[in-house]
Each structure stands twice: as C-alpha cells, then as structure tokens.
Chain A
Amino acid sequence: MALPAHITATAAGATSRQPVYALVGNPNCGKSTLFNALTGLKQKIGNYPGVTVEKKVGTAYSQHGQPITVIDLPGTYSLAARSPDEAVTRDVLLGRRADTAQPDRILCIVDATNLERNLYLVHQILDLGRPVILVLNMMDLAARSGLEINVDQLEKLLGIPVIACEAIHQRGLIELKLAMSRADLPLARHAWTVPAAIAPAVSEIAAALVEGDRKSPLVARAEALLLLTDQDSVRVAGSTPLSPRTTEILRAWQSRWTQEGTDWAGTLVSSRYDAIGALAAEVVQLRTEVGPSTSDKIDAIVTHALWGWVVLGAVMTLLFFSIFTLAESPMNWIDGHVAALSDTIKSAMPPGDLRDLITDGAIGGVGGVLIFLPQILILFFFIGLLESTGYMARAAFIMDRLMSRVGLNGKSFIPMLSSYACAIPGIMATRTIEDPKDRLVTILVAPLMSCSARLPVYLLMIAALVPGERVPVFTKVGIMLFMYALGTAGAFFFAWLFKRTLLKGEPPLMIMELPPYRLPGFKDVALHMLERAWIFVRRAGTVILGISIILWFLSAYPKAPEGSTPTAQLAQSFAGRAGHAIEPLIKPIGFDWQIGIGLISSFAAREVFVSTMGVVFNAESADENTAPLRTALLSAKWPDGRTLFTPLVCFTLMIFYVFAMQCMSTIAVVKRETNGWKWPIFQTLYMTGTAWILSFMVYQGGRALGF
C-alpha cells in the first residue's frame, strides 16, 4: 500500500524515536538505585538527601529489547527550585535545558514509607499533563513499619499505572518495564480544583505565559501554579526571566492578595495537601503500631551530647589507624614488585637513556604513586560506609551548631566531608546549598579539606619525618590527624572570614531530612571503592605516567658535559632550571630547587610530587638498585652539606600541601560551577598565599627554636 511520503516519514519517525523517561522524586527515595537497576549504569547512590546533583542519561531495554532513554535527576521536594541541583530537575522537566530532550514521559518515584510528602511533588508533576508512571519504592521498609498500601486502589484513583517496587532488591522491575514500554500510557485523572480565590489568577498568568513567554498551554498552567506557590518568581523562572507582561500581572495579583490578607502560597500548598490527604486516607493503612525504630535507638547514641562526639572522634581515629596499619603489608608487597621490576629491567638492558627513562621515569614515577593504592582503598571504603549508612546526615546535624558559628550551615559540612575523598565531588555537592553566597563560600574552602591526592605526600613525608620502624604507630596517626585537622580548621577559618567580609549574607537555613539508617550495602560500597581505585590506577597509568615521562626528559635534557655528577646534570636540565628559578621564593620556607621541581609539577596533581621526588632523587642516587624513596630523600643534601629533609622541612612541606591549591581539575570545576575565572583565580591565590605564609612561619619559627 503506497502512503503519501509525508505520512510514511512521520510514522517511521515516530517509531524510531525512543521514548524519553525522566526519573523524578524526592531526595533519597531511590531514584539512582532504580536508574542503575534499569540501565546497568553505576550512578552513585548513598543514604542522604542530595547525592545526585546533575542529570545523567542512560538506556534501558524493555522486555522486548526496545531501547528506552532514561534520565536520572537530582531529587527535589518541589518544582519551585531552591538550589542549583533542584533547578536542574525543574529545567529538564520543563524542557528548558538545550542539551536535553524534554522528557515525554515521567517516572515518579515515591518513598512508600512517606507517601504524603512524596506525593506533593507528584501532584505538581501531574499538572504538566504528561503520561506518568508512579513507582512506589521501598515497599520492604513500608511493610516493616507496619504500613499497608492498596496499590490497586491508588491506581484506580489516580488513573495511571502504579508499580510497587524495591529498587535495591531489583523487585518490581519487570512490571515497571512492561508499563514503560506501553504505547498508550493514560493521562492522570487529576481531580484537583484550584482554590477559587486563586483560579482566575492562574488562568490569567497562564495566558500571559503562552503569549508573552511562548510556553505551551499545559506547561504554562503548571508554571503559573508554581509561580503562585512561591514569593520569589526567580525560583520558578530560573535563568530565563519572565516577560514584562507576565511579571506585571503576577505583581498585580500579589499586591491585591496582600492587601486582602490572602495567604495565596499557603492556600495552594494546603489545597494540594488536602487532596493528597484524602487520597492517602483511602489507600494507606497503619496495620501495626511499631515501637521506636532501630534508627531511633542508634541516633540516641550517635547524636548524644557526649557520645555523639566520641563516635565522631572514634570513626576518624579508626580511619587513620587503619590507613597506617592495614595498608602496611599490601604496600610493601606493591613496593617490592615495583622495585623488582625496575631491577630486572636494569640488569636486562644496557645502561643508557632509554633504560633510565623506563626505570626512573616510567616505573619510578608510576610505582611511586601506585604503592599508595591500599591507603586510598581504605579511605574510600570508610567514606563509602559513612555515605551509605546515613551517618553523613547525622554528621551535618551534629556539626550544624559549629558551622553556624562560621556563618554556614550543617549542609555545607556534607560537601566538606566528601572533599576528604576528592574536592571535585565535594564542590559538585555544594549544589544542594540554597544560598548562592553560602554555596560560593563552601566551594572556596572545600579544597582545604585534605583530599586523597594529598595522602601520598603526607605518607611520604611522615615516613621521612619519623623513619624508625620502632616509632609507635600512634605518633604517625597523630601527625596525620593533625594535618587533616589543620586543613579542616583552615576551612572553617576562611569560611568565617569570607562570610564576614567578601560574601556577607543572611545566616543560612538548615532544613534537612534525616533518613533512617540503613545497613551499608557492602556490594555498593565495594563497587564504589573499586571504581575510585580504578580511577586512581588509571590516573597513575595515564596522567602520572605522562607527567613522569615528560619530567624525566625535562630533567635529563639538555645534557651536562660528559662525566658530570647526576646533581650537576639535574641542575643543568630544564626542570632544574625551573626549580632554580623559583628557589628564591621557596628558600625562606626551607625548600631547595629540587623540592621546587616537585612543587611545580604538583600543580598538575598533588600526588605527582611523590613521583617527581622519585625521578629527581632516584636519578641522583643512580645506583644499580632501587632504594626506597624514603632513604633517597633522607640522604639528600644542600650544596653546603646540610641535610635537606630535616624533620622541620618535612613538617613544613606537609603544611604547605595542606593549604596550597595545586590541582588543575579542581580549578576547572570551580570555573565551571562559578561561571568564570574570577573565583578559581582568587581561590588559587588565597590558598597558595596562605600555604606560603604559614610554611614561612613554621619553618622560621622552628629554626629559631633550634629544630
């Protein structure tokens, strides 16, 4: 049968176009868990609100193998967005993101244990007039807390598919996929009458949005309702300002209501909750009253006035203690193999530049960083535990008072804690902070929290500082804790300073949900840990390998005259010249030009310091056997014969690394998150300046005291 060309084209277009589903719901209701189950991807999940802060697109396959596009979104309580992460969700749903197709269908995920609050967002979404599938997640927990939910009844009342599900146990997925691949999803029977006092305003504003702002009629009505939920229209309009006409109409209504004393926003919210309350009364039944939950019992200790601090302290001490004790033997094992590999090559190849490039450049550089893999794994394991149990939110709860002293809130503590792993996810996590100034302050101070890339530097310096095997492990743990504490104190101090001077503002809000504790999903923690480990190894194999090789060339060329000492060769090389160039700047803080080379290369990534020291000092010792880097460092001397790495210098160097901003990737992320170069430049200068000044004080002070 011959069809006119335009019909075949549209028909083909319609079938080849994959349906696009957006996953929407309150924070921490299990969206990313479900997304991972549907797509097989590995989005980060954690038991606290605000884990996901950016959209992520993936592909799921229906029971018949048809591809379906799925978008994971940050959680939100309302479409009237209050923070940058919520704005991402709002903008994707309302089709305002140029880089994302507007989702044509919506997967609303609700936490079944907490139906009423979760349905508020669903209620707003039903206004959008798109096909919606409702997923009741966490049915296991609902059952455990004695709730019985009549799914069929809910489906009948809403008129849309309702699927009971346990994302974490992959239960309900087949039913969900079947619903998702239905061609004919019904629209909701969205029986909700806008309160009479507000209805005329809604239609007038919606009309203005259609005419003045060129919105489609359905979106316009939903947006009009949102505009009337909030006193600040920017929260709904986002970066696309409303047309003057719409603004004028909105203002007129608002001032009229203000005069009449009508609480318009409140009326809208209450009428939605009234509708939800009626719905919930029909479908939810509390079968059995359950006593205080396990969460309550745990919280009685964890947030106790005294025990709370003991627990916090114990967790931190245990973390650092494990880093020093548990990591010891795997570390020696890696070290032994790296050295053996190096030695094999040394004996197998004739001496020459190529051999040196492989052993000193490539193996020395990469191996020097790789041996810290066990410690990195332990650090990420602990952070993973904190994130997946729900302790993160409690830490924010406990710390809020302290944070308020410096003008921030407990929520800023979560990005700061994440920065112990790496400042980049930490800075991303600031998207959950409502106030732009508070967010900026948190971004500015987050890199002061010692990240995992500093760990190798600290460990190397602690090894050089207290070389004896007989030194009790607690001394080492103590030094390490001191460095972490120093960075944290620095972050608090600068937050206080910036809030007082540059970024003055209101005391921030602290409104946060405390999720129930969950047993850590060891599989998730392990997966996340392995993923981070893999990133670390990959970095060692690519970036650090590259830098080490470049560094080797820069330190091997240009060649000094035949027969010069290795030190003369290094001094004469490009790297040596650069080191010499900054020596006047760093001599006052006790560093020579060779350490200077390390400082410069650290600006690519901090852990490169360790590989640089490997290249610089192993090249110098140039013997046939690869000595542990620590020994090489300890035998390094100033030209006048003084020891270079005195305990004081090792200590000063750690202080420098606590404060200095030496990470290209962080600078790039700060630039993106603050939309410009101003703040990353400021941050680099203030951090590195502080590092220098403090190092100067410590070094000169230490010398004066005779160290």
Chain B
Amino acid sequence: MASASLISLSQLPVGANATLRDFPKAGTAFLRLREMGLLAGTTLTLVRTAPMGDPIEIKVRGYHLTLRKSEADHILVEPAA
C-alpha cells in the first residue's frame, strides 16, 4: 500500500468516495467512531461540509454522520480511483 496515496479525510473533496485506512487508536472520538462502524477498510463518501466549512458530513455503512474537521484531520483515507 503506497502511503503517498493516503490523504486525511478533511482533504477529501465533496462527493468523493474513499476507503478508510487508519486512524489514532486512542481518544474518545476515535473509539466512538470505531464503534459506529468506521474501521480500516470501510468505504465512505464525503457528502458535504456545513455552511461555515466545519463540521463535515459523511455517508458510511448506509447512514449519514457528522464530525468535525479537527477529528477528520487524523483520519487517513485512500480516495477511490
């Protein structure tokens, strides 16, 4: 897996699909996200950003989830070709 192709979730353009590759193991936010089904290998779509640019809305496992850019910064994804 070429790490060069990985970008952070907050850099993903609106409307793009990506596969989640890695995120921090510790921290309340990441534990919760994991329990909500965001795991390495999960595919997601960046649906939109809020009117003021933050938070963002993603679609994952068939539902819509919002999270802040401060968390999305630490989530590494591989954009779909």
| Contacts from A to B (Cβ < 8 Å) | 77-78, 80, 82, 113-114, 116-117, 120, 145, 229-232, 263, 265-266, 269-270, 273, 296, 299-300, 303-306, 308-309, 397-398, 400-402, 404, 409-410, 434, 507, 509-516
A-facing residues in B42-78 (Cβ within 8 Å): 47-48, 50-55, 57, 61-68, 70-71
Task: Give the docked Cα–Cα distance between A269 and B38 (Å).
Answer: 10
Q: A512 touching B28 by the CB < 8 A rule?
A: no
A80→B55 CA distance, assembly (Å): 25
* Set A231, A303, A514: member contacting B65, Cβ < 8 A: A514
Most buried by A among B47, B51, B70: B51
B33 touches A80 (CB 8 A): no
> Are B37 and A273 in touch, CB under 8 angstroms?
yes
Q: Are B63 and A114 in contact (CB under 8 A)?
A: yes
8 closest A-B pairs by beta carbon, nearest first, are A401-B52, A514-B64, A305-B51, A78-B35, A117-B37, A308-B51, A263-B25, A114-B63
The one of B39, B52, B55, B66 that contacts A270, using a Cβ cutoff of 8 Å:
B39
Decide yes or no whether B29 CB sits under 8 A from chain A: yes
Count the A-B residue pairs with Cβ separation under 8 angstroms: how many? 117
Q: Which residues of chain A are within 8 angstroms of B65 by Cβ–Cβ distance?
A: 511-514
Contact of B66 among A82, A116, A232, A514 (CB under 8 A): A514
Contact B50 A114 (CB under 8 A): no
Q: Decide: B71 and A509 in contact? CB cutoff 8 A.
A: yes
CB pair A231–B26 under 8 Å, yes or no, is yes
A-B contact pairs, 21 of them (CB 8 A): A113-B63, A117-B63, A120-B36, A229-B31, A232-B28, A263-B25, A299-B47, A303-B50, A398-B51, A400-B54, A401-B52, A401-B53, A401-B55, A410-B66, A509-B28, A511-B32, A511-B33, A512-B66, A513-B36, A513-B64, A514-B65
Please name all residues of chain B whose beta carbon is closer than 8 Å to the beta carbon of A509 when the two chains form the complex.
Answer: 28-29, 32, 67-68, 71
Bits for B1-30, please: 1 = Cβ < 8 Å to A, else 0.
000000000000000000000000110110
Q: A311 vs B13: C-alpha distance in the bound complex, in angstroms?
A: 25
B53 touches A269 (CB 8 A): no
> How far apart are B55's CB and chain A's nearest CB, in angstroms?
5
A80 engages B35 (CB within 8 Å): yes
A555 nearest CB across to chain B (Å): 53
Q: How many residues of B contact A (CB 8 A)?
A: 32
Contact A303 B48 (CB under 8 A): yes
Report whether A114 and B48 are in contact in the complex, using a CB–CB cutoff of 8 Å: no
Do A299 and B48 touch across chains, with their CB atoms under 8 A apart?
yes
Among B28, B52, B61, B67, contact of A117 (Cβ-Cβ < 8 Å)? B61
Q: Give the CA-CA distance A409 to B71 in the complex, in Å.
A: 13
Complex Cα spacing A400 to B63, Å: 20
Considering the chains assembled together, what is the distance between the CA atoms of A230 and B39 in angstroms? Answer: 15
**Min distance, Cβ A388 to any Cβ of chain B, angstroms:** 18
Task: Give B66 Cβ to nearest chain A Cβ, in Å.
Answer: 5
A309 touches B37 (CB 8 A): no
Contacts of B29 in A (CB 8 A): 509, 511
**Are B50 and A400 in touch, CB under 8 angstroms?**
yes
Name the distance in Å between A438's Cβ and chain B's nearest Cβ: 12
- Minimum distance in angstroms from A231 CB to a CB of chain B: 6
Measured between alpha carbons, how far is A305 from B14 in the docked complex, in Å?
Answer: 14
Shortest distance between the CB of B62 and any CB in chain A (Å): 5
Given A117-B36, A306-B51, 19 new contacts (CB under 8 A): A80-B31, A82-B32, A114-B63, A116-B37, A116-B61, A117-B61, A269-B35, A273-B39, A303-B50, A303-B51, A304-B51, A308-B51, A309-B51, A401-B54, A401-B55, A410-B66, A509-B71, A513-B66, A514-B65
B54 to chain A, nearest CB (A): 5
Which A residues lie within 8 Å of B66 (CB)?
397, 400, 410, 510-514
